[in-house]
Amino acid sequence: MSAEHVLTWGDSSSRQSVEIRRELVASLVSVAGMVGRPVRQLDGSLIGRLYDFVVLAGPGHPPVVGYVVEIAKRRVWLHASDVAGLERGQLILQKAKFDFADVQRRFGEIQLFHDVVDHQLVDLHGVQVVRASDLYLGNVGDGWRLVGVDTSWSTFLRRALPGPRGWLPSPTRVLDWDGIHSLEVSEEKGVQLDAPNSHLKLLSPADIAELLSDLGRSERQELLDDLAPEDAADALELMSDEDAASLLGDASVERAAELLSEMEPDEAVDALREMDADDREELLSALGADDETDLRSLLSYDEDTAAGMMTSAMVVIPASGVVSDAVAALRAARGTPDEAEMAILVDADGVLVDDITALELLGEEGTRPLVELTGPPWPVTVQPDAPLRDVVDAMRDNMGASVVVVDADGRPLGRILADDLVDALGDDERRWPWQRLAGGAA
């Protein structure tokens, strides 16, 4: 049996549509509908009630490996091979006698009804958060497998109906399980998102940020834990400072420190400012020495000043070098928080000389001295304590690209990019002051 990503039903009056629907429904088993249904021997005698289906986490459509059955007040394990079939809303056993074993949760096993139904899931194909109203099993030739998740409200209501109407499948909107972010289970962790998942790598940081914002508190932490550090950091940078701080606060100290070290320093500081002092101090102390020093320095500035909104991530090289030095430095910074399209040139005392873009380096001989490429227009600079209005004026003078924050001796401390300034202006100030004066749109 194969499954479409989304199965929906159109004109129910069509004879072909009705036949297809009946054929599909007949081939599916409703997980929610089967829970609590009878478990019987081949002679029809009642053994107990089905408590749950157990599948093994993995890619594609995971197989049913066993069943949890309630006998009196005891929950026991049945291997998939002990079951003759699922028919007429009941579980039929292969033989008359079994050595029932108490249930022990093992790594990688999922109890479908209690772990997944009515929980939030991530649909990676549709890039959305969904809630499972029911799960469907299909017999694909090698046994029962988890093939789909029903997200419809009508299916949720169907589960309350008495008799066969309550346990028969009623697919209206079914997502292929292969496109759902899979799960794994262990006694120590409970339900966790399965890592790695190749589908996640196809999502943009903006998509991941939106998913994290839509998920509940525990579910979004599971998704965050399953992401590669650099991908998680990129998504956190696109979230509100409050949401980023909340996610970091819910993570383990080690994981939060790892993510902070991958974030751009200014974005990391914005999130840290939203935490209470004790949590912030604990996270800072868990960072590597260089990252801790860098972030503490940024936190020491007033957030309404130039230094408070700058990023310390820069590529700084001696102006006495050659073109190949600048190219090598820019390449080395790729994929790190220091990644930039511009190198800052400084003299022997660390004083700002000029900045040079990657575009300006194109076509130049690697041995050409960098000093030969310096010249107007010179970088626009501001002092660390410059107020927001002065930064806006400086940004306007630099045609909205960036400004360099320098100390009293002219040594570069950081840069302010256009998006940093937008963040500083706040959600209610999405147009530049000179645009508002001119009546322009942002």
34 plus 160 within the same structural domain: yes
pLDDT exceeds 70 at position 114: yes
162 plus 70 within the same structural domain: yes
104 plus 238 within the same structural domain: no
Mean pLDDT of the 338-344 span: 80
CA distance 262 to 201: 17
326 plus 250 within the same structural domain: no
Instruction: Give the per-residue pLDDT at 426.
Output: 60
CA distance 34 to 91: 9
415 plus 283 within the same structural domain: no
Q: Where is average pLDDT lowest: 13-22, 205-214, 300-309, 360-369?
A: 13-22
Helix (H, G, I), strand (E, B) or coil at 248: helix
CATH number, domain of 423, equals 3.10.580.10
Who wins on pLDDT, 27 or 22?
Answer: 27
List the domain range (segments joined by +) for residue 188.
Answer: 1-197
188 plus 252 within the same structural domain: no
pLDDT per residue over 219-244, tens digit each?
A: 778 778 878 888 889 889 888 889 99
- In percent, the amount of the chain with pLDDT more than 90 equals 25
254 plus 332 within the same structural domain: no
CA distance 294 to 226: 27
Number of structural domains found in the chain: 3
65 plus 111 within the same structural domain: yes
Mean pLDDT of the 93-97 span: 76
Task: Name the domain boundary from 197, 222, 252.
Answer: 197
pLDDT per residue over 255-287, tens digit each?
A: 999 999 999 888 899 999 999 999 999 999 999
Instruction: Give the per-residue pLDDT at 409.
Output: 94
Buried b (16+ CB within 10 A) or exposed e, 146-181: bbbbbbbeebbebbeeeeeebbbbbbbbbbbbbbbb
Q: Is the dihedral of CA 349, 354, 359, 364 positive or negative?
A: negative
Is residue 442 domain-resident?
Answer: no
Average pLDDT score over the chain: 79
112 plus 219 within the same structural domain: no
Mean pLDDT of the 19-31 span: 65
Instruction: Give the per-residue pLDDT at 280.
Output: 93
40 plus 113 within the same structural domain: yes
User: Interior CA angle at 291 toward 287 and 292, to 5°?
Assistant: 60
- The pLDDT confidence band at residue 172, using thresholds 50, 70 and 90, is low
Is residue 441 domain-resident?
Answer: no
Is residue 274 domain-resident?
Answer: yes
